[in-house]
Amino acid sequence: MRPRLSNAERELIKKSIQSAEKPEPATLNHILDSYAELTSIERQYLRDVVQQTKPKRILEIGVSHGGSAVVLLDATRDTGARITSLDYLQQCYKAPSKQTGWIVHEMFVDLSDRWTFKGGGVVCQYLEEVSRGEKFDMLFLDTAHQNPGEFLNILEALPHLDKGAVVVLHDTALYTIDLRCTTNHILLSTLKGKRILFDDPACPNVPNIGGIVLDDPMDRDMLWALFANTALPWTYTPPFVDCTLLHNYYLKHYDKRLVNIFDKSVERHYQGLTNGCPVPSGSLNYVA
């Protein structure tokens, strides 16, 4: 026979279950201060955008420990939105013994049934599978911050975003401390739609996080500008196998003339390459 519990004991158990299922904001903030790569004010902005726009299917690209995934999962407890997170790396770049996004499974078990993670290589490889024919209504993009980084990621994501989807970019002002990190500032200015501005006291006028409600993810004029961004100088050159996968994916979704802008940029960077990546012999020859 089980021992009878006093009311006080019952209350205590109830409280501990509740706090395990839904950490107090202070506990959550404490964990995220260590594992999210967003400041608490940036996390609040992301949370506010989610709570105002109420997305049902969120795509995240750029995961690390999983801090921003937890913010997205926590902000959607009421709506039950699904979050799909993708990353180039399967192992967390900040903690290589752990899987990318590990804190979701290890620290926030109650949130993990609404979360899917795929990682390893360029993320376009996973997009058909994870979208399952349905579009996402929010994208949170936070990857390399240097060219071509997010310029390539956004072109991977757009075919899977709905009209009116909200896009949030992080590190839009990182160039204030690292001159190479202009990518997300340029990207935010290139996207067409209604901007969700944030008055960031740390970076007045040029906040380090920003969002936009996209008019039309496949707007031809905007697509030209986004492909033109890929022609800007790159600070790193992705492996050739990645460029090939991206080229083939882009050809499936975009006009060949636009993809040509990306191809020319790949050619230019491989021809002038000095950073040790293997240079393919002869002219570039993409194999489908």
Ligand X SMILES: C[S@@+](CC[C@H](N)C(=O)[O-])C[C@H]1O[C@@H](n2cnc3c(N)ncnc32)[C@H](O)[C@@H]1O
Q: Which residues of the chain form contacts with ligand X (CB under 6 A)?
A: 36-38, 61-65, 67-68, 87-89, 93, 100, 123, 142-144, 153
In angstroms, give the least distance from the CB of 62 to ligand X.
3
| Strands laid side by side in the 115-119 sheet | 115-119, 82-87, 57-61, 136-141, 161-170, 209-214, 193-196
- The span from the CA of 86 to the CA of 155, in Å, is 14
b/e for 116-126, b at 16 or more Cβ within 10 A?
ebbbebbbbbb
Sign of CA dihedral 38, 43, 45, 49: positive
In angstroms, give the least distance from the CB of 202 to ligand X.
16
Query: 143 vs 182, which CB is nearer to ligand X?
Result: 143
In angstroms, give the least distance from the CB of 123 to ligand X.
5
Query: 216 vs 277, which CB is nearer to ligand X?
Result: 277
Query: 140 vs 254, which CB is nearer to ligand X?
Result: 140
Q: How many CB atoms lie within 10 A of CB 221?
A: 9
Query: 155 vs 259, which CB is nearer to ligand X?
Result: 155
Q: How many CB atoms lie within 10 A of CB 44?
A: 16
In angstroms, give the least distance from the CB of 249 to ligand X.
13
Query: 62 vs 193, which CB is nearer to ligand X?
Result: 62
221: left (phi over 0), alpha (psi -120 to 50) or beta: alpha
The reply to whether omega before 148 is within 30° of 0 (cis) is: yes
Query: 95 vs 261, which CB is nearer to ligand X?
Result: 95
Contact 168, 49 (CB under 8 A): yes
In angstroms, give the least distance from the CB of 12 to ligand X.
33
In angstroms, give the least distance from the CB of 239 to ligand X.
11
